Structure 1
Amino acid sequence: MKKCFIVSPIGDRDSTIREQADHVLKYLIEPVCKELGLESIRADKKCTPGSISQAVFKDLDDSDIVIADLTGLNANVMLEIGYRLSNKRPYVLIRNEEDAEKIPFDIQDYRIYVYSLKRDREEECKETIKNFINDALKENDEFFKSLHIRKANGRIVQLCDADGVTFPKSQVPDKWRKTLMERAKVTEW
């Protein structure tokens, strides 16, 4: 099953921030993920031992898509979405319509879906989030299809995007490794 990692301000138990994060997760994100066959994961809902930060970065690396709620411009959220953007993997940015924080200049040109917590707009919000997820996953597939492959000695040695920027082999999802190897007619990654 594909994984959707949710990055959001979480806040302390019983705080307004936690209540809002839980509401967005339960009523907007989880139903959409279920409909699309995605497992939804949020860091505070996991019960795994070890470093929380290491687990978060692993989820940011391994998830098929990340949904990041920019509401309140939480520092952890900004760090985590910056990390996800750097590895060129699919993401969806969202924020609450009641959030008065000004979006930082560096991400103003990214598509950000502004959702509502009003019950009468719930279905509209879910449908739009679903469309954003589908578009992001489609764009990701197009990106990997367009990579230029350099090979030597029966293996892939370098991948470049259309602008000639090297794309790290370590960040290629498993599902694309096999496809790229077949396209390059090599037997070793």
Structure 2
Amino acid sequence: MKDFKSLKVFVAMPGTSMGNTAKYSNPESVRKNLLTPVIDRLKNRLNIQDIELIIEKEKLDSAPIHQSMFREAQTADVYIADLTGANPNVYLELGVRWALCDGVTIMIAQSVDDLKFNVFANRAFIYSPENLIEITDKIATAIENGLKNNICDSIVRLNNDTITISRLEIKALNDEINRLKKARGEDLINAAKATDNINEKLTKLIEAIEANPASAEAFLELGKTYRDASQYDKAIKTLRDAHKLRPTDSIINRELGVTYSKQKKLDDAIYYLKEAVRLSPNDAEAWSNLGGALRKLGMIEAPNSFNQKNLEEARDSYVEAHKINRYDLYSGLNIARLNILLSKWDKTLLTQAQEQFKKQVLLCRFAVQEDSNDYWRLFDLADTLFLSGEYGEAYQVYDKAISLIPKEERKDKLSSVIDPFQNYLSASVFSGVYIDEIQKIIHTLTTAMAL
């Protein structure tokens, strides 16, 4: 038996008259002579003093009566339907009770003739002035047994898998399901971030989105992973889905811009990267990526023509990134790379750029010592060595960096390393041995992309 500390007993009965043939014609007399004694017996038998007897007509609520009646049909611990006079409203209420609740439901009447339709086949307690004491005990016993044994006494729900649940409970369950889905999605995202296997990463991130389709982070990480795998169309679609969920997220705008830049859709790339730096002006990475997209735009018609203005804007973007983090090698080295290209119009910038690379060698060596498995740091060191004329060591560092890139990601990563060298050749800013060495390193990197 459920551990009841209180009970609610609701009685559905005619509101004014019990019918022409009823011996107890007044509902109040039924309350006094039958219902109240039943409650008293229940208090003694169940040792529960807080038992509330509720009769609809006695309520003083302002809400519509049917709203209250049907709510009680669902929530009352014990439901007594007095079918005396075969009152249609009471039959309606009884049907609602049977539909909504397994039990405990008790039928009473003053005459067998009051039991109509399917009700006739069910147990009902017939009461009269002559049997009040006996019937009171029987009703109390039936209620006690129903509460203790948790038996379904509804002819509608008997042997039926249907249950009744409130909207609040459904909302609570849905909220909990959504919480668990979100938590599972977050766990899958974390698991994806922890693995170096790109196929495993893709699988986990797809599962994360299935678990929580509202997770912008899952779409963001999946888009970045598709990009690492050089699946740029899928990356764009996935990142746009992330953008729909969080259009003002600077990181999503940044990564969308980076991916459009990989596709060489430079107008789109610049739009989203400018939006990223507008939303987050201190995002050095966004400024650097904007610089990269502007550099590509400045070189898009090379070797036939070059856009000096775009290249200067690209350098300015890298300068902004370097202002935010003056220890950032990426932005600092790209300022030097842009000066090499801009030396097409100002020859002094080439010497200045080469000096910049020489000054960065020690800092790049230190960065590699801090993390010798970071292939980007190795590429930075290799570039500084190469553009400082230290070709032998540069090639050794390039080879090590290439070996650290997962094969599935080499095409995407190495294309970023090759681009500046191809730009140097297109702009014809180097001469002599530099050209031979640049062609050689382009061949080395291109070959590695195909492996």
TM-score by length of 2: 0.30
Residue number among 110, 119, 130 corresponding to 2:140 in the alignment: 130
CA distance change for structure 1 residues 163 and 62 in 2, over 3 Å: closer, same or farther?
A: closer
Contact 2:77 2:104 in 1 (8 A): yes
What is the alpha-carbon distance in structure 1 between the residues aligned to residue 158 and residue 116 of structure 2?
A: 28
Q: Which has the higher strand share?
A: 1
SS in structure 2 of the partner of residue 169 of structure 1: coil
Q: Which residue of 2 aligns with 1:90?
A: 104
Aligned to 2:196: none
d(CA) in 2 for partners of 1:85, 1:162? 9
Q: Tell me the residue number matched to 1:55.
A: 68
CA–CA separation in structure 1 for the residues paired with 2:32 and 2:160 = 41
Stretch deviating more after TM superposition (17-26 or 30-39): 17-26
Identity of aligned residues (%): 28
Aligned to 1:168: 164
Which residue of the partner structure matches residue 23 of structure 1?
29
Look up the match of 1:107.
Answer: 119
In structure 1, what is the equivalent of residue 54 of structure 2? Answer: 41
Listed as ranges, the gaps of 5+ residues in structure 2 are: 1-5, 44-50, 170-451
- Residues 19 and 83 (structure 1 numbering): CA distance in 2 closer, same or farther, change over 3 Å? same
Higher relative contact order (CA 8 A, sep 6+): 1
CA distance in 2, matches of 1:16, 1:43: 23
1:77 aligned partner: 90
- State the distance in 1 between where 2:58 and 2:34 align: 16
TM superposition shift of 1:163: 4.6
- Secondary structure of the residue that 2:61 maps to in structure 1? coil
Please state how far the C-alpha of 1:77 moved relative to its aligned partner.
0.3
Q: Distance in 1 between matches of 2:160 and 2:63?
A: 38
Aligned to 1:5, the other structure's residue is in SS state strand
TM-score normalised by L of structure 1: 0.67
Query: Given that residues 92 and 136 in structure 1 are in contact (C-alpha distance below 8 angstroms), is that contact kept between their aligned partners in structure 2?
Result: no
CA separation of 1:26 and 1:162: change in aligned 2, threshold 3 A: closer
Q: Which amino acid aligns with 1:30?
A: T
| 1:162–1:48 distance in 2 versus 1, CA, 3 Å | closer
- AA in 1 matched with 2:35: I
1:82-136: CA deviations, max 9, x gaps? 0001122311001103x644x3232222111111123xx3211211111121122
Residues of 1 paired with 2:128 and 2:96: CA distance? Answer: 26
Determine helix, strand or coil for the equivalent of 2:14: coil
Of 3, 6, 9, the residue aligned with 1:4 is 9
Structural RMSD (CA): 2.8
Asked if 2 retains the 8 angstrom alpha-carbon contact of 1:4 and 1:64, the reply is: yes
Change (3 A) 1:49 1:137: same
Q: Residue in 2 aligned with 1:32?
A: 38
Which structure has the highest helix share of the two? 2
